[in-house]
Amino acid sequence: MAGCFIVGAKLHNIIVNLLKLRIYFAYFHYLRSILTINYLLDNMMNLNLTNSIKMPDHQLRRQVIELCQKVEKPLLKLSTKDYVDNGLGHLVQQFDGQAGLVNIEVFNELQHTITGWPGGKPDVDDSTRPERAKPYPKRVIVFSPHPDDDVISMGGTIRRLMQQKHDVHIAYETSGNIAVGDEEVRRFMHFINGFNTIFANGSDEVIKHSYQAVKAFLNNKKEGDLDNAQILRLKGLIRRGEARLACEYNGIDSEHIHFLDLPFYESGKIEKLPMTEADVTPIIELISEIKPHQIYVAADLADPHGTHRKCTDAVLAAIDEQKKAGAEWLNDCRVWMYRGAWAEWDVADIEMCVPMSPEELREKRNAILRHQSQMESAPFLGNDERLFWQRAEDRNRQTAKRYDNLGLACYEAMEAFVEYKF
């Protein structure tokens, strides 16, 4: 990935002092198990912080899982010979010379990542569960970079949280207007024009004129032309409607749906604007108002045009700002990172894994299908013809298969999370 390097505190200060610009830079450095995010934030806002996300080490787990994959055996069938032949004899020595004890250790560790209670299970011992039992119910915010990432990435988990009566908010960070085709606008314009005819005998002048103006713009639009502000707003409105439908399907209250429309996205083209404090402020306002016990955030490094990365940066920067301000609610908040339509966490990294039955996977698909403007093609996928719901299902099934191959419970599908320590 171009531009991947770590900015240390010194370099950070030099750059800040030299440039004195209101610029936000985020650098991701991903090297095997380590995910490091460094911030050089807007110095006008006094956001001089260099933050790191360190992925938990899980070194034992990682080595043993790799061994399973190499010798094609589930965890509990690894023998001393398997360890010794593959240069891992020292692990067996650390466990009283018994391979079985290493196997059990790692098996239990992975077993404890699986939970059908992503918000924590109330009134039970939570010492080996990924989430704490209390408080119950929890206030939860799911941050979704585009208006469909929530259901694509963690639709099954959202439904569990709702079934288990948590107080779930969804915050859509960008309008997603770039990814809506002109034909979607035409379809809705036909509808609104027909609406005018049916209910007002075509007498509503605003609808009539707007319909003509939009139609004329689209008819004259040439390949490569940018949309005007009105068309972009209509496209954003179409995505809002789809997001509302998906939320409704998942049982989320309309007051719990937040459209942040972060300004960095609103360039009208694929290349986005630089991030500024105007992108972080709405998130600070939201989290400080709701004071969530759980935050879910996209940590998708492979998103082609960097929108997800910027959205993640904005959320983590907002959390840092709240931390600096001494916000007490943060002491009782956990942040879980999900990955988007493009890739999944390594099993060795996963800290919470939420299983889905075949029916639950189908319900997840139904919510994704509410995003009708995104159904025709999934952009930027190269030769991959699969649509978003297909990619999501394949990925979730594959995660379940990985657990199954290791000898853990065999589920239809699973959604995976890693905790962000702040």
- The residues binding Zn ion (CB under 5 A) are 145-146, 149
Residue (of 92, 138, 99) closest to 119 by Cα position: 138
Assess contact for 110 and 74: CB atoms under 8 A. no
**Cα(347)–Cα(327) distance, rounded to whole angstroms?**
33
Q: How far is the CB of 73 from Zn ion (least distance, A)?
A: 37
Q: How far is the CB of 145 from Zn ion (least distance, A)?
A: 5
Q: What totals of helices (H) and strands (E) does the chain contain, helices first? A: 13, 9
Q: How far is the CB of 33 from Zn ion (least distance, A)?
A: 25
**Cα(134)–Cα(117) distance, rounded to whole angstroms?**
12
Q: Which is nearer to Zn ion, 202 or 379 (CB)?
A: 379
Q: Which is nearer to Zn ion, 139 or 339 (CB)?
A: 339
The residue at minimum Cβ distance from Zn ion is 146
Q: Which is nearer to Zn ion, 178 or 348 (CB)?
A: 178
Provide the 3-class DSSP secondary structure of residue 276.
coil
Q: Which is nearer to Zn ion, 149 or 344 (CB)?
A: 149
Tally Cβ neighbours within 10 Å of residue 245.
15
Q: How far is the CB of 174 from Zn ion (least distance, A)?
A: 8
Q: Which residue spans within 32-75 are E strands per DSSP? A: 34-40
**CA 56 from centre of chain:** 19
Q: How far is the CB of 147 from Zn ion (least distance, A)?
A: 8
Provide the 3-class DSSP secondary structure of residue 168.
strand
Q: Which is nearer to Zn ion, 145 or 236 (CB)?
A: 145
Peptide bond into 135 cis (omega under 30): yes
**Cα(344)–Cα(337) distance, rounded to whole angstroms?**
11
Q: Which is nearer to Zn ion, 36 or 175 (CB)?
A: 175
Count the residues in the chain.
422
Q: Which is nearer to Zn ion, 107 or 172 (CB)?
A: 172
Q: Which is nearer to Zn ion, 56 or 379 (CB)?
A: 379
**Whose structure tokens read 């439908």?**
245
Q: How far is the CB of 294 from Zn ion (least distance, A)?
A: 20
Distances, alpha carbon 185 to alpha carbons 177, 217, 371, in Å: 11, 11, 14
> What would the DSSP string read from start to end of 352-409?
EEEEE-HHHHHHHHHHHHT-GGGSS--TT-TT----HHHHHHHHHHHHHHHHHHTTS-
Q: How far is the CB of 205 from Zn ion (least distance, A)?
A: 38
**Cα(219)–Cα(209) distance, rounded to whole angstroms?**
15
Q: How far is the CB of 313 from Zn ion (least distance, A)?
A: 15
β-pairing verdict for 294-298 and 34-40: unpaired
Q: How far is the CB of 146 from Zn ion (least distance, A)?
A: 3
Q: Which is nearer to Zn ion, 339 or 402 (CB)?
A: 339
